[in-house]
Amino acid sequence: MKASDFLYHRPESVPQVLGLLRDYAGGARILAGGQSLMPMMNLRLWRPAALIDIGRIPDLERLEQKGDVTILGPRFPYWRIENDRVIAERLPLLARMVRKVGDRQVRNRGTIGGSLVQADPTGEMPLGTLILGATIHAESIRGRRAIPVEQYFLGSYATAIEPDEMLVAVEYPRHPAYFSFAEVNRRHNDFAVVSVAVAGDRAADGTWHNLRIGLGGVDETPVLALAAMRRGEGTLLQAPDIAQMGILAAEHIDPPDDFRASADYRRHLTRVHLTRVLGSMLASAGFREE
Amino acid sequence: MTVVHKTVMESGTAIGQALARKEDDRLLRGGGLYVDDACALRQFAMAVARCPFPHARIRHLDVRAAAALPGVVHILTGTEVQCLTNPITVLRPVPGAPMLPYYALAQEYALHEGHAVVSIVAQSRAVAEDAIELLEIDYEPLPHVTDMTRVLDPDAPVLHPQIMTSNLMASKTDYSGNPRAKLAEAALVDYDRFFVNRVAPLSMEPRGVLASWRSGARELDFRSSTQVPHLVRKQLAEALRLDEGAIRVVASDVGGAYGMKLGLFPEELLAAVHAMHLGHPVKWIEDRMEYFRASTHGRESFHDMTIGTDDQGRILAIINEYTNDIGAWNSPFGSSQLSSVTFTGPYHVPDAQVCRHVVLSNKTPIGAYRGYGQPEVNFAREVLLDRVARKLDISPLDIRRRNLLRPEDLPWRTPSGAVYDNGDYLRPLEMLAGATDYEAHFDRPRRPRADGRIVGIGLSSFVERTGYASARFLARRGSHFGAHESVTLRANRSGGIDLYTGVSTCGQGNETAFAQICAAVTGVHYDAIRVHAGDTAQSPLNTGAFASRTLIAAAGALKQAGDAFRDKTLRIAAMVLQISPEDLSIAKGLVHSVREPDRTITLVDVFNRAITGQGIPEGLEPGLETTAHFEPPEASFSFGSAAAVVAVDPETGDFDIERFVFVHDCGVAVNPLLVEGQVRGALVQGLGAALSEELRYDRETGQLINGSMMDYFALTCSDVPKIELMHTEIPSDVTTFGVRGVGEVGTIPPAAAVANALCDALRDYGVAFSALPLTPETVWRALQNVRNKGETP
């Protein structure tokens, strides 16, 4: 379990990173917290020709507030998502979900950018970012572009980021007023068997709007449960609504069948936990389930 | 519990005190000396190429490209290993089984994924791993069998066709009375097949070795992470065709062993061969990917268990026929045998029969693992006993009350010939019933709580065989080691004792326990006793740290050596003080008169006299050093009962263990902290195997599909339920100081306690469990099966 040979660079600025990325033409990887990258390299599953360590570049851990919008730098660490008061107020779903990421050691080093580039289909930050409808900003020598999160995850450990691009910022729009989250693990903070997150706003008449329902561990990428979202949008989320949303969500996924759980069981858990999570979101809005 | 630091020890008071462990100061400060902490000048690193297939013929092997890589210094293949070494011997062969020629590298055929094929030594581990990728190995995949229920099928490939005609290694039946006739009389006979999962012993420190060959002196210095340094030396001498005198094995701190590190492994032998060839030290440190494929696994078996009772639930007969799948080879120690010894458990069953089959499959070899057959059979028996109770409408508590052996039944001989020593098996069960308020708990209806969960309680009673009953017993079973332990006590000029033992320090607290007993016997202060453990060049020949046997045997050796040491100390002091030795005592670094405490001589003075031979009684040999070898006359049995309280979500099958209560007796506790540490550690391993651990092989490809720490679900500290411990302390009447072993007991009851609790919580559904591990999905499936049959309450 020793990595194969690679070159190591520690540039001082983002333009230098972009130059190196171009020079290696897809052969280089960016090193931030290293919590996913280093194990993959030590197992020799990934063999980058070079590592580009962005650890010394100033300003990549920034947290910007622009009206309702919150922007995180690529090296914004998990531990700050977990502990920062601004995050607790502005992105409470992420603060809640990050506690299910790895262990304390991983959270001390891992970063939001690293997690989104890794794109683990069971990952908490990818799912949370999807639910919150964020925009991913990527930059290369060719220029800068904004990728809506719905178009960002392309497959298991695959994203829309091109080999010469660097993820430079994650932009979160206004956070919905209510949210809830549940995750099933085989053991404490293991990869999710199934994770379910919901968020939405409630109008004065009690109807729910901007509903977002996301599922992790049930497909190649984190997914939005679109049919269930449509079914719930504008309703009071009464018991029959919720029951049907659970069924719809379970019908529209293609969960893996592996030693963590069977596809059947993941489908079942998705239905049960979506109904429970919706129930707890309702409860957080002052409603009690009948 | 109070931890006593630096207590001033009075003679005879050290046994039973919760002294802080001698080992902890260095271990907690990062000052332990594990194999990888030891470095030799100009050492090389070794890596091993392993077969990726479960069964393959090596058609062609070309190492030239690997050998040409800069930094590579030596390569070994199966051919060279066959010339340079003998097959690795087995310390505890399966009685009646053929001897398999287990070479350190595969000979033409590789028999499991992970089977070592080539070993490479280079300037660094990274270079050695680079070289592995340059090997050209042409494998011809062959049909394989990994399912233990299929290995004896007519179309199953035979793993060792040169030696055997099937994959059956051996079968052995033991019985007492007439169990078949008793079953015919029984009011109720219940039967099931129980599957026990293949698990990883998971030591924190992986295996490792640093081998150095001093060619001028013709001496092999061999640092190994092992629990049996003297036995590794024996096996090394046999495999390397060297005199034992040329080999020194040192095990300093060992980061957990659990039965897995019980003997010589192929990689260790390879490191020695490389080192002897190169004249340079060679280090091999196992990584976790190798660990899961090449360190021995534990447990895998299935048990066909039958219990017959009368209409009051009194057991009339137990018959257990079981199969141990030991993988592709004998492990260095041999596969588990204790299912045959303890299959009747703590119960009064005069008529019983057990039949054991040992079979081979294309998987990593199975070795000893904490419990060694006892957790396996306990799961089968205790789960089936609960089913019998339910069918007879007797509570699980009452059926155990009715069948537990009574003090007057002991000593009790089981069908295998083992003899349970004295004890009171009912007392832990009654304490457990009280602590859990069992009867009230059991009588409550099983309705969901406000959180939707249904609560249930399950029991599991057990015995643990600790230690071996004499070398005669072992000889009859063909074991290549004795039952004894040994110790040397040597006075030093500082007034203390250097204590030498071959028992290596694996985390069990041997240094603490040995020093406590030595202090109690000699009167020399605990802090003045330095334990030197695990070095074959220093310690007297011994057996090793396994089978919960260390203290059973070592307590006697410490007593004998300590008494002799004390006698000689007092004789010298008596001459100086002009007081008869009977009127002298040792405490606080002094020998003093019992009647006139002011008349004293320091131990420093006495020991210096002995060491120089100046000023000692006429005719007395100089020196103050005693050695004793003690052979225990019998094994001792620990016993007890455990309970789990679970809360199950019937919608998802998810469950929590809300209480786990464990009541047991390990005789006199030399140090309650060590007892607690051993029990808790073993319980975590037992719970892990019960709840989530399982090494899974893909049936199609024959490959291990979850062989990494990422995918193997060992419990983390956040997953372990709160554990409540209680003890009774009935001195064993067959051991020195009344101790019983305690090393493995915690692995035994958890699986059955949890399974029984789940069945109890879901009793209105009528679910049953007969396979491990017990995952939430298992529970959900059991509930789904019942629901699909339309039997939902």
Task: Report yes or no on B73 lying in a domain.
Answer: yes
The burial of B775, by beta-carbon neighbours within 10 Å (0-12 exposed, 13-18 middle, 19 or more buried), is given as buried
- Quick: pLDDT tens for B392-449: 999 999 999 999 999 999 999 999 889 999 999 999 999 999 999 999 999 999 999 9
The answer, yes or no, to whether residue B567 has pLDDT greater than 70, is yes
pLDDT of residue B5: 35
The answer, yes or no, to whether residue B760 has pLDDT greater than 80, is yes
Closest CA to B154 of B169, B141, B167: B167
Question: What confidence tier does A290 reach under pLDDT thresholds 50, 70, 90?
Answer: very low
- Which of B577, B610, B630 delimits the end of a domain? B630
Distance CA A268, CA B786 (A): 16
**Residue B736 is part of a domain; what is its CATH number?**
3.30.365.10
Q: Same structural domain for residues B275 and B126?
A: yes
The burial of B498, by beta-carbon neighbours within 10 Å (0-12 exposed, 13-18 middle, 19 or more buried), is given as middle
Buried b (16+ CB within 10 A) or exposed e, B23-55: beeebeeeebebbbebebeebbbbbbbbbbbbb
Distance CA A14, CA A10 (A): 11
The full length of chain B comes to 793
Distance CA B750, CA B376 (A): 11
Closest CA to B358 of B548, B743, B100: B100
Q: Same structural domain for residues B28 and B44?
A: no
The answer, yes or no, to whether residue B642 has pLDDT greater than 90, is yes
Distance CA B141, CA B111 (A): 10
Beta bridge partners of residue A29, listed in sequence order: A51
Task: Report yes or no on B430 lying in a domain.
Answer: yes
Buried b (16+ CB within 10 A) or exposed e, A105-144: eebebbbbbbbbbbbbbbbbbbbbbbbbbbbbbbbbeeee
- Quick: pLDDT tens for B248-302: 999 999 999 999 999 999 999 999 999 999 999 999 999 999 999 999 999 999 9
Superfamily classification of domain A178-284: CO dehydrogenase flavoprotein, C-terminal domain (3.30.390.50)
Domain boundaries of chain A, sorted by first residue: 7-53, 63-172, 178-284
Question: What confidence tier does B790 reach under pLDDT thresholds 50, 70, 90?
Answer: confident
Whether A224 contacts A211, CB under 8 Å: no
Question: What confidence tier does B9 reach under pLDDT thresholds 50, 70, 90?
Answer: very low
Instruction: Determine which of B779, B780, B788 to mutate to test the interface with A (most A C-beta atoms within 10 Å).
Output: B780
pLDDT of residue B94: 87
pLDDT of residue B547: 87
Inspect the interface and report whether the beta carbons of B777 and A44 lie closer than 8 Å: no
Q: Which domain holds residue B702?
A: 301-470+633-788
Closest CA to B543 of B614, B621, B630: B630
- Which of B613, B630, B647 delimits the end of a domain? B630
Q: Same structural domain for residues B613 and B645?
A: no
- Quick: pLDDT tens for B702-754: 999 999 999 999 999 999 999 999 999 999 999 999 999 999 999 999 999 99
User: In the predicted model, what is the mean pLDDT of chain B?
Assistant: 95
The burial of B763, by beta-carbon neighbours within 10 Å (0-12 exposed, 13-18 middle, 19 or more buried), is given as middle
For residue B739, give the amino acid letter. V
Distance CA B43, CA B33 (A): 17
Inspect the interface and report whether the beta carbons of A188 and B713 lie closer than 8 Å: no
Task: Report yes or no on B767 lying in a domain.
Answer: yes
The three-state (H, E, C) secondary structure of B313-329, written as one string: CCEEEEEEEEEEECCCC
Between the alpha carbon of residue B667 and those of residues A193, B662, B784, the distances in Å are 45, 15, 45
Distance CA B378, CA B374 (A): 6
pLDDT of residue B3: 37
pLDDT of residue B8: 35
Buried b (16+ CB within 10 A) or exposed e, A30-63: bbbbbbbbebbbbeeebebebbbebeebeebbeb
Cα of A42 to nearest chain B Cα, Å: 10
Cα of B712 to nearest chain A Cα, Å: 10
Distance CA B586, CA B579 (A): 14
Distance CA A170, CA B413 (A): 72
* Among candidates B652, B696, B776 on the partner chain, residue whose Cβ is nearest the Cβ of A259: B696
For residue B503, give the amino acid letter. V
- Which of B630, B653, B676 delimits the end of a domain? B630
Phi, psi (5° rounding) for residue B523?
Answer: 90, -5
Task: Report yes or no on B166 lying in a domain.
Answer: no
Residue B691 has, within 13 A of its CA and on its CB side, a CA count of 29
* Among candidates B125, B288, B777 on the partner chain, residue whose Cβ is nearest the Cβ of A265: B777
Distance CA B770, CA B778 (A): 10
Q: Same structural domain for residues B601 and B552?
A: yes
Instruction: Determine which of A269, A270, A277, A280 to mutate to test the interface with B (most B C-beta atoms within 10 Å).
Output: A269
Enumerate the residues of chain A whose CB falls inside 8 A of the CB of residue B699: none
For chain B, what percent of residues have pLDDT higher than 70? 98
Q: Which residues lie closer than 8 Å to A95 by C-beta, 6 or more apart?
A: A81, A82, A84, A87, A88
Q: Same structural domain for residues B444 and B333?
A: yes
The answer, yes or no, to whether residue B478 has pLDDT greater than 90, is no
* A→B interface, C-beta within 8 Å: 1-5, 39, 43-44, 103, 184, 186-191, 259, 261-262, 265, 268-269, 272-273
For residue A181, give the amino acid letter. F
pLDDT of residue B494: 97
The answer, yes or no, to whether residue B10 has pLDDT greater than 50, is no
Q: Same structural domain for residues B560 and B688?
A: no
Structure tokens at B309: 């009772």
pLDDT of residue A111: 97
Q: Same structural domain for residues B626 and B637?
A: no
Lowest mean pLDDT among A106-120, B334-348, B691-705: B334-348
Q: Same structural domain for residues B62 and B41?
A: yes
Give the residue from chain A lying closest to B652, CA to CA: A269
pLDDT of residue B332: 82
Between the alpha carbon of residue B48 and those of residues B119, B132, B287, B477, the distances in Å are 4, 8, 11, 34
Strand order in the sheet with A208-216: A178-185, A192-202, A208-216, A223-224
Distance CA A34, CA A105 (A): 12
The answer, yes or no, to whether residue B612 has pLDDT greater than 90, is yes
pLDDT of residue B793: 53
Instruction: Return the beta strands (E) in B415-453 as ranges.
Output: 419-420
pLDDT of residue B720: 96
- CA angle B462–B466–B470, rounded 5-degree value: 140
Inspect the interface and report whether the beta carbons of B692 and A3 lie closer than 8 Å: no
Structure tokens at B783: 């509930």
The answer, yes or no, to whether residue B791 has pLDDT greater than 90, is no
Which DSSP letter does residue B596 get? -
Q: What is the CA radius of gyration of chain A?
A: 19
Task: Report yes or no on B174 lying in a domain.
Answer: no
Buried b (16+ CB within 10 A) or exposed e, B128-137: bbbbbebbeb
Average pLDDT over every residue of B538-542: 95
Q: Same structural domain for residues B732 and B702?
A: yes
* Among candidates B692, B777, B780 on the partner chain, residue whose Cβ is nearest the Cβ of A187: B692
pLDDT of residue B472: 83
Residue with tokens 């936990």: A273
Residue with tokens 């339920």: B721
Task: Report yes or no on B476 lying in a domain.
Answer: no
Compute CA B738 distance to the chain's CA centroid, rounded to the nearest angstrom: 21
Average pLDDT over every residue of B366-375: 95
Count the domains in chain B: 3
Between the alpha carbon of residue B254 and those of residues B203, B226, B510, B516, B708, the distances in Å are 9, 7, 12, 21, 21
Strand order in the sheet with B590-593: B584-587, B590-593, B600-602
Q: Same structural domain for residues B350 and B311?
A: yes
Beta bridge partners of residue B739, listed in sequence order: B667
- If phi > 0 it is left, if psi is from -120 to 50 it is alpha, else beta; for residue B334 that is left
Q: Same structural domain for residues B658 and B599?
A: no
Distance CA B773, CA B648 (A): 16
**Residue B76 is part of a domain; what is its CATH number?**
3.90.1170.50
Does domain A63-172 bear CATH number 3.40.50.1110?
Answer: no
Beta bridge partners of residue B660, listed in sequence order: B644, B723
Average pLDDT over every residue of B65-74: 98
ipTM, interface predicted TM-score of the complex: 0.95
Q: Which helix (H) or strand (E) holds B630?
A: strand B625-630
Query: Strand, helix or coil at A74?
Result: coil
Q: Same structural domain for residues B290 and B305?
A: no
Inspect the interface and report whether the beta carbons of B780 and A261 lie closer than 8 Å: no
pLDDT of residue B792: 54
Q: Spelled out in words, what is the top-level CATH class assigned to the domain A7-53?
A: alpha beta
- If phi > 0 it is left, if psi is from -120 to 50 it is alpha, else beta; for residue B478 that is left
